[in-house]
């Protein structure tokens, strides 16, 4: 089923952020990455709900690191993109690129 699946807009944003972060992707870091690059402030609830959905589709993996005192004794939950996630991201991006072909932003803006 995942072979044909396309991703939603926010799912792509989250996966792209994960790609940028590499091995350092946990909730807060992803949130900051998105904020820094796009200026968009997302709630942790929305982020985790998306990450959980991606995980249930086997697009990402997650694991808990050791607890740190800075976080009130709580662990960081790290996320990493999986090959299936990468494929889905590529597929969606490609589809978007195909759909954009032949359009210029100006033309779109004038309509």
Partner 1 sequence: MSREDFPFLLRLANGALRLFLPSDDYEGISGDLREEYETSSQSTLWYWAQTIRAIALGTGGRLRAIREGCTTGWGKDIQQSIRRIVRTPGFSVVVVLTLALGIGANTAIFSFVEALLLRSLPFAEPDRLVQVHTFNGSESSRLSLREVADLNEQAKLFDGFAAYRDSAYNYGGDGGPAEHLLIARTTENLFQVLGVPLALGETWPKVNDRSRSFTVVLSYELWKRRFHSDPAIVGKQVLMDGFPNTVAGVASPGFSFPAHAMLFRCWGIDRDPNAYEARERRLALVVGRLKPGVSIRQARSELSSIAQRLARDFPATNRQIQFDIAPLQDTYAGAVRPYLVLLLGAVGFVLLMACVNVANLFLTRSASRQREMSIRAALGASRVRLIRQFMVESLIYSLVAGFMGFLIAYLAVGVISRIITVDLPPWMEVRIDNGVLLFLFGVSLLTGLLAGAIPAWRASRRDLSRTLSEGSRGSSKDSRVLQPLVAVEIAFAVVLLAGAGLMVQSFLRLLKVDLGFRPDHLLTFDMGLSWRKYNLDRARQFEQQVLSGLSGLPGVRAAIGSTSLPLTGRESTVPITVDGQTSERDQSRNPLVNFQQVSANYHQAMGVPLLEGRHFSDFDREGSQSVAIVSAHLAKRLWPGQSALGKRILPADVLAPWVPKWLTVVGVVGDVKHESPASEPGLDLYIPFIQAGTQHTSFAIRTTVDPQTLASAALQVVASVDREEPASEMVTMHQVVENTIWQRRLTGVVFAVLGGLALLLATIGTYGVIAYSVSQRVKEIGIRSALGARPPDILRMVAVDGARFIFPGVLAGLGIALLLGRLVSNLLFEIGASDAVTLGGVVGVLATVSAFACLVPAWRAANLDPLRALRDE
Give phi and psi for 79, each to the nearest 5.
Answer: -120, 145
CB of 9 to partner 1, least distance (A): 16
Query: Closer to partner 1 at the Cβ: 7 or 51?
Result: 51
Cα distance between residue 4 and residue 106, in whole Å: 32
**Residues of this chain that bind partner 1 (CB under 8 A):** 26-28, 31, 43-46, 48-49, 52, 62, 64, 67-68, 70-77
CB of 99 to partner 1, least distance (A): 29
Query: Closer to partner 1 at the Cβ: 7 or 31?
Result: 31
CB of 21 to partner 1, least distance (A): 14
Question: Could you give the 3-state DSSP secondary structure of residue 19?
Answer: helix
Query: Closer to partner 1 at the Cβ: 24 or 71?
Result: 71
> Residues 11-41, buried b or exposed e (16+ Cβ, 10 A)?
bbbbbbbbeebeeebbbebbbebbeeeeeee
């Amino acid at each position: 089923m995942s072979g044909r699946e396309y991703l939603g807009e926010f799912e792509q944003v989250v996966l792209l952020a994960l790609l940028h972060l590499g091995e350092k992707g946990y909730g807060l870091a992803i949130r900051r990455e998105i904020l820094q690059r796009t200026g968009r402030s997302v709630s942790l609830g929305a982020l985790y709900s998306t990450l959980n959905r991606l995980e249930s589709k086997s697009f990402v993996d997650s694991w808990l690191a050791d607890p740190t005192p800075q976080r009130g004794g709580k662990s960081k939950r790290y996320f990493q993109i999986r090959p299936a996630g990468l494929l889905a991201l590529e597929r969606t991006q490609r589809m978007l690129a195909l759909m954009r072909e032949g359009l210029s932003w100006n033309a779109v803006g004038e309509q």
